[in-house]
Structure 1
Amino acid sequence: MNKKRILIISGESWREDSNGGNVLSNLFSTFTDEYEFAQIFTNPAMPSNSICAKYFHISEGEVIKAFLKNQTFGRELQSSDYLIQDELTIKNPSSSNWLTFLKKLNFPIFHTLQDLIWRGSKWQTPELEKFVLDYNPDVIFAPMYYSLFMHRIDRYVAELTNKKLVSYVSDDHLTFRQFSISPVYWFNRLLLRKNVIATAKHYSLLYTMTQEQLEEYQPVLKVPMKVLKKTGNFEGVPPLKTDCGNPLIIMYGGNLIYNRFKTLHKLAQAIKEINQNEIKIQLHIYTQTPITEKLKLLLDDGQNSLLLGKVSMEQLNIKYSGADLVLHVESFELKQRLLTRLSFSTKIIDLMHTGRGILAICSKESSPYKYLKSEDAAICVADVSEIKKTLQHLLEFPEQINEYAIKAWECGVRNHDAKIVTKDLHADFKSMIN
């Protein structure tokens, strides 16, 4: 049987040990009998997955050098090179260190300069055109990004192939409900909105992660839209923990961006106050975010809160099994609240699958809070002043932890069952091709 072809255009490389790559695998792992995949991506890291075997790399790690030398850049990767290239990247990551450093700073002017460099660079090459036309995709899947150059790549490929484009948005790249006193930030925001609207003219379908985002985007973009939920295997019964630990272990596994570390610090302070006479609760934090002295000072006192660094996703799942409560947090600062209010972390579905009660500490206006509260799928705290009181209540009534573990699992069964969601996803892609 001749398989249909899906071309994916994304910022992240397709690595199953990264969150972005894990999302791609979660979406398309059941497609492999009927579809084959190719990917155009810009992240310096090499791909590592069991689904896709054809890649074109327009590396953002090479863009400045190519721009300064007025050279073209971008190349098709050979599958035999992946492991070797990946090892070289791990052993000698200096080529992309500057990029990681600048991204961590996240200054508005950096995004402006980044766009100017990409705008003046020679990424639109005969090699890229040949790769796209030779592959001849039946449909294009291109998640929506903040970076303007990703929008230009999307439009270029859509116009070159004249094929239908399906997109997926997980953050707010469109609305003006943001906070910043920087004129550069608002200049970037205007350009982003303009590019999103321009790219959306090519969309045959746009998936959002939340109903709130769909309702805000639909009147502006005027394209077919659906809510797409991350899936999990929720068959059988949840792997509950029979007894709560002594001390009670609360575990966080995720990055510390958007000032999430400040909410974790508030939690650590509440735990310290409760533990004055004995250690009743411990916070264990696993993160891919580089650990600085500041983070150590705020989040690791060696007793109440432990900052345990980076582990693989497979190891993280093992760590979850040893916890009593698993944690979702967001910042309560105005700028960060507005920035993430329409976002829905795919990790929440991973938390539902752990068989542990979920503790969600985030503002009432955030999509995760609204969803988890309406589904009664987590112990929700919408005010940092309530953290200590909530923890004391759970120490007094620990049976509620397993009650919420069951509720989280049941929410997964109702709304995130892989068989139901992927059936709808398959139908959508077939309709794009037929």
Structure 2
Amino acid sequence: MLARELLWSAAHVRGLSTFEKFVADFRPQVILVQAGDSIFMLRLALALSKAHSAPLLVYNSEDYFFKKSNYLDDRNNRASAPLYRIWHRVLRRAIRATFRHASHVFYSCSPLQQTFSDLSNAPSSVLLTSTEISPRTTTATTEAIDLVYTGNLGLGRLEALLEVASVAHDINRAAVLRIFGPPPTAAVLATLASAPAVRYCGLVDQSTVIKAITSSHLNIHVESFNPAYRAQLTHAFSTKIADYLATGTCLFAYAPPEIASTQYLKETQSAIVADSPENLRPSLQKAMREPRMRACSSARAIEVAETNHSATRNNYHFREIAIQAARGHSGSVEL
């Protein structure tokens, strides 16, 4: 982590004059930065905002500021803990300085906005993930046997998916969970190959993913119930949810109740949710065996997608705030 920051900083110094000329020629009216865990990038955005008197807009989808344990070390190596504490302290300073200077902060979900409310007095708003997917025109009226998951298998999601597949197989022996995503390790591939009702379909192009999620009986979203991962996922809001909701295919979510995406799906009534291992079987059984319930859930999901996840609406919202911020600094703007 520290090495990465040093390397990026050194590379920036070597190319400083060229970069500064590029920015000066570009004459930025707004600086936009995603608040990740790059100290260098946060400092760079802050410096550019000050040097060019350009308002700073921040998009934040993570809670790195509050992660006291080393989330970058899956092996939980105690030797790395002191270095992580040093690095995290510097990261917190960079995040705090960036947020306090910001003209506006966008958050990926409401719980994240609430968590950061004490860090900055800057105006803020929630900008949910957008989608341009059109809903399917027909829905399946038979028992659900085609289940689809898209995304990675990390952070305990593999175990949760295997639970879903196993219960689905018990409910209907014809059920199959198709998984689309990045190639896992050889060990994980072997696990998937031996699991009942699971078919790993690999990493495919976007058009294939859209075809899969708009033709399945159920789309699946999961987060881990494992305590080792659960604490890291409080503000998790999968980028896939917007696409799932827009498809017109019923979404089934298996995730802890305190996670941001679980709360959102329950509050908007846009998915069938099992928020505990005890609720998995009865909830999945209803989702698979009751077409009318799936149809009602998917109809509500389409409404939510159109209201909260429209790319057109979200782009307009962002553009309006960017224009207002630029006008507040210069009085005129061309975007």
Instruction: Specify the TM-score bucket, using the shorter chain as the normaliser.
Output: 0.7 to 0.9
Whether contact under 8 Å (1:208, 1:214) holds in the other structure is yes
Q: Which residue of 2 aligns with 1:49?
A: none
Find 1:357's aligned residue among 224, 238, 250: 250
> Is 1:225 matched with 2:118?
no
- Aligned counterpart, 2:332: none
Structure 1 match to 2:176: 282
**Alpha-carbon offset, residue 372 of structure 1:** 0.6
Amino acid of the structure 1 residue aligned with 2:249: R
- Return the letter of the residue paired with 2:162: H
2:8 counterpart residue number: 118
Further displaced range: 401-410 or 364-373:
401-410
- Given that 1:341 and 1:365 are in contact with CA atoms closer than 8 Å, whether structure 2 keeps it comes out as yes
Per-residue deviation at 1:306? 0.6
* Residues 176-200 of structure 1: CA deviation (Å, up to 9, x unaligned): 5768774244433322211101222
Q: In the comparison of the two structures, how many residue pairs are matched?
A: 318
Amino acid at match of 1:117: L
* Equivalent of 1:199 in 82, 94, 98: 98
Match of 1:249 in 2: 146
Structure with greater contact order relative to length (CA < 8 Å, sep ≥ 6) = 2
Residues 135 and 119 (structure 1), Cα distance of their counterparts in 2 relative to 1, 3 Å cut = closer
Tell me, what secondary structure is at the counterpart of 2:117?
Answer: helix
Write out aligned runs for 1:109-148 (5 A): 111-121=1-11, 122-148=13-39
1:265 pairs with 2:155: no
Determine the C-alpha separation between the residues in 2 that align with 1:381 and 1:374.
Answer: 14
Q: Distance in 2 between matches of 1:302 and 1:247?
A: 19
Counterparts of 2:91 and 2:140, CA distance in 1: 50
Two-structure CA RMSD over aligned residues (Å): 2.4
Preserved CA contact (<8 Å) 2:144 2:289: no
Runs (4 or more) in structure 1 with deviation over 4 Å come to 176-182, 244-247
Shift, 1:219, TM fit: 1.0
- Aligned pair in 2 of structure 1 residues 290, 112: CA closer, same or farther (>3 Å)? farther
Which sections of structure 2, spanning at least 5 residues, go unmatched? 328-335
Secondary structure at the counterpart of residue 98 of structure 2: helix
Cα deviation for residue 162 of structure 1 reads 2.2
Q: Distance in 2 between matches of 1:320 and 1:378?
A: 14
The aligned amino acid for 1:346 is: T
Write the deviation string for residues 103-158 of structure 1: whole angstroms up to 9, x where unpaired: xxxxxxxx233223334443552111111111111111111111222213222322
2:244 is paired with a residue whose SS is helix
Whichever residue aligns with residue 388 of structure 1, its letter is R
Q: Name the counterpart of 1:399.
A: 292
Secondary structure, aligned partner of 2:94: helix
Label 1:119 to 1:418 Cα distance change in 2 as closer, same or farther (>3 A): closer
Matched, 1:239 2:136: yes
> Residue 209 of structure 2 aligns to a residue in which SS?
helix
Q: How far apart, CA to CA, are the structure 2 residues paired with 1:231 and 1:395?
A: 28
- Comparing 315-324 with 413-422, greater Cα deviation is found at 413-422
Structure 1 gap segments, 5+ residues each: 1-110
Query: Is 1:216 aligned with 2:106?
Result: no
Match of 2:261 among 368, 382, 390: 368
> Percent same amino acid at aligned positions?
24
Letter matched to residue 223 of structure 1: A
- Answer yes or no: is the 8 Å Cα contact 2:133–2:243 preserved in 1: no
Give the Cα separation in 1 of the matches to 2:121 and 2:127: 18
Return the letter of the residue paired with 2:6.
L
Q: Work out whether 1:164 is the aligned partner of 2:55.
A: yes
Q: TM-score, normalised by structure 1?
A: 0.67
* Cα deviation, residue 419, structure 1: 4.3
Q: Does 1:326 align with 2:208?
A: no
Tell me the TM-score normalised to structure 2 length.
0.86
Shift of the 231–119 alpha-carbon distance from structure 1 to 2, 3 Å rule, reads: closer
Distance 1:342 1:395 in 2: 29
